[in-house]
Structure 1
Amino acid sequence: MLNRNAHSLRFLFSWIFLGVCFLLSFPIYSKEEGVKLEWRQIPDAGGYVVEIKDSRGKITREKTNGTQIQLELPPGTYEHRIGVLNRYGRVSVFSTWIPFEVILSQKPEILSAEKNKFLNKDLPDTFEIKGKHFTDATKVVLKDSKGNEVSIKSIEVKNSETILVTVDRKKPPEGAVSVRVENPRNKVAEKENYLFVAETESELAALESKEQKKQTSSAPFRFDYGAVARSAIVPGWGQYYQNKSNFRTFLFPALLLGAGAYVASEGNSYLNASHALSAARQNNVMYNYAFIHSGNPTFFTLAFYNYSQIAPKYSTAVADYNQLEIGIGVVGLFYILNLMDAGFFAGNKEVQVEGTQAPVTVSPLIRNLRDSNQSNAYSLGNSTGLFQRTEIGVQFAW
């Protein structure tokens, strides 16, 4: 009798300890594999029953022998309690109902600040961070240009799209300030150069110029798939989409039209030469057949003459075929160059040049010039021809 009472007291004490662990409500963050509830093990427990009650009062039950359970719950507010099973599989005791909240943790987004340049004296104590998918559990970290974390006094999530951040005015940020927003389950968004803070206007302008130059120099190469797709359908369309010069826009269509016309001409010549060769061979067979059956020497003369024409006609057909192959290769080369120009060589870009305040527009330049200072006299006659000079470079425009 004494042992049984001691066992019951030990079991009751363990369950009271479990209930204390769940007195406070807490949020649970939902992700792809669902929601996990976990509790401490109760000695001599034969299993557990977990009851989940949603906001409408509907209760679902799950039995388990372990100390955790995985549930599929949509975001919302719930209550749960855990019952301990005895050796006969019956519930000996239930915990109290404990509220909890399921929150869907999504990757946050950060929008650019409406005003991001401040003098130290004008920096507000509290500023807004605009974005998406902010929750009460969202964390905010600010860092200055040296990588030091900025002291934050308070963070208030106004709604899912606005966070109010109050900084410590005794330790204001300096330089280019970056912001990092983190939701539970390691959902993170970062934005560099979110704020620029400096003592004077000149320092502020220099800081912004330095960061723009750094971004431009470290910008990764991007293959322009959209322009390539357009130029693959209509040569020159991708160049027009990239706002390139008229010369680059119409260059490849003109080259392809010219090469296509040449291919059409050589294709027609090859067909005519092939037909002429085929006709000569057929005539040769016909004249030889007529001479053998009639014995007329005229057919022999015609057959001999016709045979002598087969070789040059064959050479002509081969030459036309070779020219046709070259023309097709030129068309393919121009088409590939058209795609490469659209994909690898973008249009005008804005860069920051040291010593200037405004961005500089950089555009490729290809032009053909005549050099009037040099001339070439032909060996026949007194006519002269001017040298042509092609210049390839980069054009800067302020």
Structure 2
Amino acid sequence: MKIKNILLITLLMIFSFPLFSQEKKKVVLRWKETSTAIFYIVEIRNKEKEIIFKEKLEDTSIPVELIPGNYERRISIINKLGEEEVTKEWAPFKIVLLVAPELESEEPVELFKDENPVKLKLKGKNFSKDMEVKIRKGELDIPIQKVDVQDENNAIVEINPEELPEGKYDIILENKRKQKKVMGYIVAKNPSEEEKPVEEPVTEEKEERKIPEDLKKWEIVKRSAILPGWGEYYAGQKINEPKYDLRGKIYFGSFAFSTFLYLYFNEFTFIPGKKTPT
């Protein structure tokens, strides 16, 4: 009879010690009974392929003590004639001692219900791939859409915001029979008006560039009449507009230069006792 049809091994483990501890832990190997067998031979070898356990017995289970790690096991069946009937090939198994998950911080986390699903990021240690997450308020468990355990230190929990009324919630992380509970860890909130993105106000720049009433007509005209460029320069200073400032300087510079040329070429006219050059 093929042993693959009768072999079933269940590892029952003691979970009371830290992960990766090098102390030996008790493990029970179990398999299905074979009607033709009077004895079974159980062999276990480590990752270096060294046989560390071998025993002949009549029962279909045996307790062994092993440290956490990777192993292989093989079971042979001895029939009523004392002959080896079936020997199973080496099959791998792993011993992992599960401990309670831990959170990096137990300070309350605020969740704003402004996206669907709401995503809760968890950081800690001892997160197993099969870790269960429960969010609870009183006796009520909140439905969870998805738990994505990325590695032993990070996980993301997705929640339907409609299932998460405002308030405080406990969180429970569980590796099989080892769990961690943090009271009031989650604070669910609706985004308030203050927390919504602020609409951009009308740009102050455009408001500032609106020409004041006193500049619309007479102030620029009066100053320009007295001294070319003064009115433009005045407008530029008032409304903080570079083009008016520059225009005023150009007008004033042009006026000054023209005046200089006029005086230069007509200088003798203004000096008493000298004739005007012909």
TM-score, length-scaled by structure 2: 0.56
Match of 2:6 in 1: 18
CA-to-partner distance for each residue in 1:194-224, whole Å, 9 max, x for gaps? 111133559xxxxxxxxxxxxxxxxxxxxxx
Q: Determine if the alignment matches structure 1 residue 193 to structure 2 residue 181.
A: no
- The 2-side partners of 1:200 and 1:126 are apart by 15
- 1:120–1:197 contact (8 Å) kept in structure 2: yes
Q: Determine if the alignment matches structure 1 residue 43 to structure 2 residue 24.
A: no
Larger radius of gyration: 2
For structure 1, the residue ranges without an aligned partner over 5 or more in a row are 1-11, 203-398
- The 1-side partners of 2:161 and 2:42 are apart by 50
Shift of 1:193: 0.9
Match of 2:128 among 131, 135, 138: 135
CA-to-partner distance for each residue in 1:299-346, whole Å, 9 max, x for gaps? xxxxxxxxxxxxxxxxxxxxxxxxxxxxxxxxxxxxxxxxxxxxxxxx
- What is the identity, as a one-letter code, of the residue corresponding to 1:183? N
Match of 1:80 among 73, 76, 100: 73
Match of 1:163 among 151, 155, 164: 155
- After TM superposition, the structure 1 = structure 2 runs for residues 1-398 of structure 1, keeping only pairs within 5 Å, are 12=1, 15-19=3-7, 21=8, 29=13, 31=15, 34-59=26-51, 60-112=53-105, 116-121=109-114, 125-143=118-136, 145-169=137-161, 171-172=163-164, 174-184=166-176, 186-199=177-190, 201=192
- 2:133–2:173 contact (8 Å) kept in structure 1: yes
- Number of corresponding residues: 184
Runs of 4+ in 1 over 6 A off after TM superposition: none
CA-to-partner distance for each residue in 1:125-150, whole Å, 9 max, x for gaps? 3322222322223222122x253222
- What is the identity, as a one-letter code, of the residue corresponding to 2:146? S
Q: Which has the higher contact order (CA 8 A, sep 6+)?
A: 2
Shift of 1:82: 1.4
SS in 1 for 2:67: coil
For structure 2, the residue ranges without an aligned partner over 5 or more in a row are 17-24, 194-278
CA RMSD of aligned residues (A): 3.0
SS in 2 for 1:57: coil
- The 1-side partners of 2:184 and 2:162 are apart by 22
- The 2-side partners of 1:17 and 1:153 are apart by 38
Rate the CA distance shift 1:124–1:29 in 2: closer, same or farther, 3 A: farther
Shift of 1:181: 1.2
Rate the CA distance shift 1:155–1:119 in 2: closer, same or farther, 3 A: closer
- What is the identity, as a one-letter code, of the residue corresponding to 1:66? D
